[in-house]
Structure 1
Amino acid sequence: MLGRTANGLFWMFRYLERAENTARLLDAGLRMSLTRDLVTAEEEWRSVIQTAGQRPAYETYNETYTGVQAWNFILRDPKNPMSVRAMLENVRTNARVARNAISGEVWESVNESWMQIESALAKPVGQGQLGDVLGMVRRAGTLVHGALGDSMLRDAGFHFARAGMFVERTDSTARILDIKYYLLLPSLSYVGSSLDAGQWDTVLRSVSGDRAFRWLNAGNIDAKGIVEFLTLDARFPRSIAFCQSALRDELAALARLHRNEGRSNELMRQADMRLTDKTVDDVFDVGLHQFLVDTMNTNAAIAEAIAEDYRFHA
């Protein structure tokens, strides 16, 4: 497979995952803001913008953090190169680059979803339309992933696509947890309060983990338990442990197909060793922030190594 095609598949699914994650984050932010007073609601939207990594760009054009400003900037603002609309356009562009390596079903799900969402984002989104738009974005991800799983050969293209998805998902979960710890709570005095419980519930909703966590924990919202669930519980498909395990399998499959292991496989083994037999107490002993920063840095290094190993830019 040409490096350009492999790169297109890898980034097609990174952008798709990023768009889905952003939609979930917006949905959780909306739920929280509707239960707060005006001042606290603006802080919620500030944290959403920060978690999405878009605060500097947002503050270049906006002085306040009202909901309608925040979600339209993230969803559709042409001045925002990382808007959901821009991400999905990148999904479609990369799908066209890799058109000869994807099935007709994958292309149709990408193209039809893009046309529907582009139409919905042609004008500013009001609060009444926000839920429908976010649902469209999430369904686009579901359709494309379903088409990938049901219609693609388990060849190199399939594994590059899945590798991109798990690289992006690992980064997203780590970033959301890290931002929670440092930005969502306005004061340490809130720890253990109803606001604190609400913020942790927002974290779970941001990764679609609220129902699974409650089912496993009899409905209790516990910060330490949530950290363990999102970092080390390999049963949850958006936990760091699950994503790293899945990424390891995709890289191993690529190595077998190419009959050669690269630097990405070695970095993946090192990442596995750091998680092996680790407990949530070990995570807090190291420091949650440091653990998450190390995870994000390692994940970025693996992504760079994949590009080098398979000559994405050759």
Structure 2
Amino acid sequence: MLGRTAHGLFWMFRYLERAENTARLLEAGFHMALTRDVATAEEEWRSVIEAFGQRAGYEAKHGTYTGHQVWNYLLRDPDNATSVIAMIGAARTNARSVRSAISGELWEAVNESWMEISKLLARPVAQSSVGEAVQIIRRAGTVVLGAMTGSMLRNEGYHFARVGTFVERADCIARILDMKYYLLLPSLSYVGSSLDTGQWDQVLRSVSGDRAYRWLNAGQIDARGIVEFLVLDDRFPRSLAFCHSALREDLAALARIHGHEGESDALMRKSGTRISDLTIEDIFDMGLHEFLLEFLSANRAIAGSIAEDYRFLA
């Protein structure tokens, strides 16, 4: 497979995953802000912007953090290169460039999703329409992944698509967890104080983990338990452990197809060993923020090595 085709598949699914996770975080922020006073709601919206590293761009355009400004900036603002509409458009462009490497069903799912979301976001989104917009974006991600899983040959194209998905998902989940932890528990040390269980519940909802977590923990919302679930529980498909386990498997499959391993495989083994050896006590002793920064750095290094190993754009 040509490097530019691998690049197109990798980034097509990174963009799709990023758009979906933006919608998930936006939905969580929206529900939290509705229950807060004006000042606290503004802090919530600021944290949503900061989670995606968009504070500078946002503040260059807006002086305040009102909900209407934030969700339209994230969903459709033409000055925001990482808005949902921009990400869906970039995914479609990449899908078109690799049409010979994907199934017809997958192309149709991406193209139809783009048309539906473009129509939805053609005008500013009102508060009454935020829920509908988020649902449509999340459904688009589910439909595209379903088309990929159900119709693509299990060749290198399939594995590059999955690699892009799990690199991006791990990055987004780590950012959401870091941002929400700082909003809810500013102290770096773990304290058994009373936490806002409603907000921790929204953290779980933002990653579709609320039902799974409750089933495993008899419905009890606990900060330490939630962090353990989202970081270390490899049964949950949006945990950091699951993402890197899946990423390791797909990189191993690519190495078998190509007949050699690269730097990305070595980095994945190192990351896998690191996570498998950790306990929740280790993470809190280190500091959750410090652990997540380390994880994000390792995830970026893996993504960069994948591009080098498989000569993206070559």
Same fold (TM over 0.5): yes
Instruction: After superposing the two structures, state which structure 1 stretch, 286-295 or 99-108, moved more.
Output: 286-295
2:24 alignment counterpart: 24
The alpha-carbon deviation at position 36 of structure 1 amounts to 1.4
1:310 alignment counterpart: 310
CA distance in 2, matches of 1:187, 1:60: 30
Asked if 1:234 corresponds to 2:242, the answer is no
The alpha-carbon deviation at position 97 of structure 1 amounts to 1.2
Asked if 1:98 corresponds to 2:101, the answer is no
CA distance in 1, matches of 2:275, 2:33: 35
How big is each residue's C-alpha offset from its partner over 1:192-232, in whole Å with a ceiling of 9 and x where there is no partner? 445x3223222212211112111211111111001100110
Matches within 5 A, 1:197-236: 197-236=197-236
CA distance in 2, matches of 1:227, 1:243: 15
Structure 2: tracts of 5 or more residues without a match: none
1:5 alignment counterpart: 5
Go from structure 1 to structure 2 and tell me whether the alpha carbon gap of 1:22 and 1:123 turns closer, same or farther (over 3 Å shift): same
Go from structure 1 to structure 2 and tell me whether the alpha carbon gap of 1:185 and 1:287 turns closer, same or farther (over 3 Å shift): closer
The alpha-carbon deviation at position 182 of structure 1 amounts to 2.5
CA distance in 2, matches of 1:133, 1:180: 23
The alpha-carbon deviation at position 46 of structure 1 amounts to 1.1
The alpha-carbon deviation at position 191 of structure 1 amounts to 7.5
1:271 alignment counterpart: 271
Instruction: After superposing the two structures, state which structure 1 stretch, 246-255 or 209-218, moved more.
Output: 209-218
Matches within 5 A, 1:20-169: 20-169=20-169
Q: Is the 8 A contact 1:14 1:164 kept in 2?
A: yes
Please tell me the root mean square deviation across aligned C-alpha atoms, in Å.
Answer: 1.5
How big is each residue's C-alpha offset from its partner over 1:168-195, in whole Å with a ceiling of 9 and x where there is no partner? 011111111111233455789x98445x
CA distance in 2, matches of 1:260, 1:68: 50
2:268 partner SS: helix
- Counterpart amino acid of residue 136 in structure 2: M
Equivalent residues, number: 312
CA distance in 1, matches of 2:33, 2:281: 32
Structure 1: tracts of 5 or more residues without a match: none
Q: Is the 8 A contact 1:44 1:184 kept in 2?
A: no
CA distance in 1, matches of 2:185, 2:127: 25
- Counterpart amino acid of residue 281 in structure 1: E
How big is each residue's C-alpha offset from its partner over 1:267-288, in whole Å with a ceiling of 9 and x where there is no partner? 1111111112321011112221
